Amino acid sequence: MPHSVKVAPAYPVADGQAHCPIHHVLSYIGNKWAILILRELFQGNRRTNEFLAALPGISTKTLTARLRELERWGLVTRTVFPEVPPRVEYSLTAKGREIQPIMVALSQVGQHWLVHGSPRSAP
């Protein structure tokens, strides 16, 4: 953690596992909405309202907070168009696209669990 300021509220990088790769990625995308936000961006650029429509349950407050984090970490780009009405577009950076293997793995396991009985439907 190069900065002393708290930039990752989700996963406090503690003690002996700061070097664990899995823990390291989770400190970026392990919070409640990050992966779903990135999932949207893998399908194309998105505006704020489009996120809100695609992610039922998220609040504008949390959405902007997560997008600001992802932007600060270099995973997402925020573009403001000085128009009326105002328009803001978010897109993936090259760094952000690097998590594609994770999205693929998540999608494959999810597909498998949707087709076969999901664990939750087991007795």
Element spanning 81, H or E:
strand 76-81
Q: Which lies closer to DNA via its Cβ, residue 59 or residue 118? A: 59
Query: Which one of DNA, a second copy, none is in contact with 61 (Cβ closer than 5 to 8 A by kind)?
Result: DNA
Could you give the 3-state DSSP secondary structure of residue 87?
A: strand
Query: Which one of DNA, a second copy, none is in contact with 47 (Cβ closer than 5 to 8 A by kind)?
Result: DNA
Query: Which one of a second copy, DNA, none is in contact with 120 (Cβ closer than 5 to 8 A by kind)?
Result: a second copy
Asked if 58 interacts with DNA (CB under 7 A), we say yes
Place of tokens 């390291």: 24
